[in-house]
Amino acid sequence: MRHRLSLQIGPVAFRIGSAWKAPLDALARLYASYPAPADGLADFTVRLEPEKPWRRFFRPSVAIQGDYILPDAAPLSLAHGLLAAEMGMNLQMALGQKRYLLLHAATVEKDGRALIMTGESGAGKSTLAALLGERGWRLMGDEFALLDMDNGKLLPFPRAISLKNGAIRVMEAQVPAARFGPRLTGTPKGEIRHLIPNAHAIERMQEAAIPALILFPRFGEAAAVRGVGAAEVFMRLTQASTNYVALGRRGFDALTRLVSTLPALAIDYPDTDTALGLVEDFRQELAA
């Protein structure tokens, strides 16, 4: 590939190659304070290539390639090349990760105890994780929770936070402009802007945490909290995992251990302040 970049994010090393310079420049800026992989080896490779050879110059169109591919993934315009690189890294993790049980969830940590937030797209988990990350919690990741199947701990995977639509304004009001990537408009998911995690999250990205609570947040409803039974949590987390089936018995053992030892709550919230208040209450209860 003409242009290359290697990145270490938590326990995972990526090598990203691109036919164009611009997407990698944008990616390098987002990940400027992340280390390069220590041994120079990559766990996953992402390639951004023209959909057809002539599409490198003419109406450039970025197809995501790598060790694992989805045959029907639609190419993106070059203006969304940064998004293609981010999606490519997600895709390689979702399809190829075998060392950790992967949950589509945001995780934050305080005092060594981690909170797992999962839910459908739009439930607000990225926004809550981003806000908590600015208020004394350590952001471990907004997209994937990595569960170590040997010891039950969570590993950080603090990628740039992918903020969408309304969440962009919420965070722009709280975080200096230098920590944002470019504003990407008209993407398949609407408007997207990446937020660089703070230095605290990046410096401690090799530090595991013990999971303490599972939350299923839901935005847009009157404030309510209800307990969720372990069997329902198990079912929801198998649906939220991209590699549960592929991991077989190891995944079953790790997930049943997680859900049988952790409390789980579904929270409805009308605004982010309510959700942050609830999370702080839960933290104090867990610490007591």
Q: What letter would DSSP give residue 21?
A: S
Q: How far is the CB of 102 from other proteins (least distance, A)?
A: 16
Instruction: Mark out the alpha helices in 194-243 (DSSP H runs).
Output: 199-203, 230-240
Count of residues that bind other proteins according to CB under 8 A: 16
- From 68, 63, 90, 66, select the one nearest 78 (Cα to Cα): 63
By CB under 8 A, name the one of 223, 225, 235, 287 that touches other proteins.
235
- Comparison of 59 and 249: residue with beta carbon closer to other proteins: 249
Among 260, 273, 277, 287, binds other proteins (CB under 8 A): 260
Strands (E), the chain: 3-9, 12-18, 44-50, 61-66, 76-77, 100-110, 113-118, 138-141, 144-148, 154-155, 161-164, 180-187, 190-195, 210-219, 224-227, 264-269
- To other proteins, the closest distance from the beta carbon of 71 in angstroms equals 23
Q: Which of residues 195-234 bind other proteins (CB under 8 A)?
A: 229-232, 234
Give the binding range for other proteins (CB under 8 A) out of 107-115, 163-171, 203-211, 243-251.
243-251
**DSSP string covering 89-109, please?**
HHHHHHHH--SEEEEEEEEEE
Residue in 38, 39, 248, 284 binding other proteins, rule: CB under 8 A: 248
Binding to other proteins by residue 259, rule CB under 8 A? yes
**Residue closer to other proteins (CB basis): 225 or 231:** 231
Helix (H) or strand (E) holding 28: helix 22-30
Least distance from C-beta 241 to other proteins, angstroms? 11
Cα–Cα distance, 156 to 160 (Å, whole number): 12
Assess 265 for contact with other proteins (CB under 8 A). Answer: no
Site for other proteins, rule CB under 8 A: 229-232, 234-235, 238, 244-245, 248-249, 252-253, 256, 259-260
